[in-house]
């Protein structure tokens, strides 16, 4: 009975971890740019008592004697499918395609990557995404922080379809090129990115190295000015999955109780 309890315990831990992941997805379903996490399971610790025997020309062999397998979480990955887009302010951007915005929280010492295009302009004239500095390309094609913007009013800016950021001069309708173009990048395996600050992601060995920054229109995808990408969490499917995990948890808890009752019964008879 102890091995039954041990196997059920491992399963409970795995399903509980998966339930935490699903709960996190539901908690972030209204966060712009959030990408849901997906968990997967694997069988482990095969228990083979005998391998069986071979058959003969006139008689079949015997099947292996096996008591099943335990299980654990195989891993988690990020679902980078595009979320729905909704209307935002003129300075907001959504990406249609696999691209990511380039951001930094340490003045470019290291870079993070995000799909959250609900941008702001801080008091120092920096374009930010959830408090992180947004990077773009200057007119020479160099990666640079989008900073020194002349106004802190979001509605004074707008994006063109080619990724150019324009500014409304003197509160009128004359638009001036700020000299910045939004920078996009991609990864060989975006599902291998690690969650970082806010809704940003950090590169890992699994994700591979980011491609050279580029303007919209190529393999990184196109942009949708004035739009914001919402979370790609689907409430109904995530809820159903959570219920399936809860049923699996309940089933394994029942196995633990049954094994515990049998052990208690044996101890009472011995006593």
Residues 116-151: tens digit of each pLDDT: 999 999 989 999 999 999 999 999 999 999 999 988
Give the pLDDT confidence score for residue 271 in this predicted structure: 66
Shared domain for 245 and 117, answered yes or no, is no
* Within-domain flag for 223: yes
**Is residue 249 in a domain?**
yes
pLDDT at 172: 67
The span from the CA of 167 to the CA of 152, in Å, is 11
Domain of 93 in residue numbering reads as 85-229
Task: Note whether residue 169 is domain-resident.
Answer: yes
Kindly state whether residue 16 falls inside one of the protein's structural domains.
yes
Neighbouring C-beta atoms of residue 271, cutoff 10 Å:
5
Say if 61 falls within a structural domain: no
Tell me, yes or no, whether 29 and 96 share the same domain.
no
> Are 102 and 183 found together in one domain?
yes
Same domain, 168 and 195: yes
Q: For residue 265, give every residue at least 6 positions away whose Cβ sits within 8 Å of its Cβ, in sequence order, or none.
A: none
Please check whether residue 58 lies inside any domain of the structure. no
Q: What is the 3-state secondary structure (H, E, C) of 244-257?
A: HHHHHHHHHHHHHH
Residues 74, 204 within the same domain: no
179: left (phi over 0), alpha (psi -120 to 50) or beta: left
Spacing of C-alpha 6 from chain mean position: 31
Domain presence at residue 127:
yes
Asked if residue 181 and residue 158 are part of one domain, the reply reads yes
Is 60 within the bounds of a domain? no
- In this structure, are 15 and 120 located in the same domain? no
Listed in sequence order, the residues at least 6 apart from 261 whose beta carbon sits closer than 8 Å to its beta carbon are: none
Beta strands in 81-140 (DSSP E): 85-87, 93-96, 100-104, 112-114, 119-121, 127-129, 132-137
As for how many domains the chain has, the answer is 2
Predicted local distance difference test score (pLDDT) of residue 204: 96
Strand segments (E) across the chain = 37-44, 48-50, 65-66, 70-78, 85-87, 93-96, 100-104, 112-114, 119-121, 127-129, 132-137, 143-145, 157-159, 164-168, 175-182, 184-185, 194-195, 200-202, 222-225, 227-229
Say if residue 252 is in the same domain as residue 221. no
**Residues with pLDDT less than 50, the chain:** none
Q: Are residues 173 and 196 in the same domain?
A: yes
Return the pLDDT at 6: 79
Same-domain pairing of 151 and 189: yes
Q: Compute the C-alpha angle 222/88/187, nearest 5°.
A: 35
Residues 172 and 216 in one domain: yes
Q: Is 263 found in the same domain as 167?
A: no
């Amino acid at each position: 009975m102890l091995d039954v309890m041990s196997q059920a315990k491992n399963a409970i831990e795995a399903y509980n971890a998966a339930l935490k992941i699903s709960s996190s997805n539901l908690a972030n379903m209204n966060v712009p740019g959030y990408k849901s996490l997906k968990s997967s399971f694997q069988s482990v610790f095969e228990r083979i008592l005998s391998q069986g025997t071979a058959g003969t020309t006139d008689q079949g062999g015997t099947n292996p004697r096996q008591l099943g397998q335990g299980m654990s979480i195989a891993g988690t990955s990020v679902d980078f499918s595009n979320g729905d887009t909704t209307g935002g302010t003129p300075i907001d951007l959504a990406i249609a395609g696999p691209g990511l915005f380039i951001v930094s929280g340490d003045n470019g010492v290291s870079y993070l990557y995000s799909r959250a295009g609900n941008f702001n302009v801080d008091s120092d004239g920096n374009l930010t995404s959830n408090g992180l500095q947004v990077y773009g390309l200057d007119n020479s094609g160099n990666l640079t922080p989008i900073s020194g913007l002349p106004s802190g009013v979001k509605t004074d800016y707008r994006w063109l379809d080619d990724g150019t950021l324009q500014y409304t001069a003197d509160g009128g309708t004359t638009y001036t090129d700020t000299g910045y173009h939004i920078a996009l990048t991609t990864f060989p395996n975006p599902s291998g990115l690690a969650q970082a600050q806010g809704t940003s992601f950090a590169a890992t060995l699994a994700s591979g190295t980011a491609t050279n920054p580029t303007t919209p229109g190529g393999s990184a995808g196109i942009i949708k000015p004035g739009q914001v990408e919402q979370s790609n969490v689907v409430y109904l499917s995530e809820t159903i999955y959570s219920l399936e995990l809860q049923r699996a948890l309940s089933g394994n808890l029942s196995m633990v109780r049954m094994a515990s009752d049998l052990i208690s019964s044996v101890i009472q008879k011995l006593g």
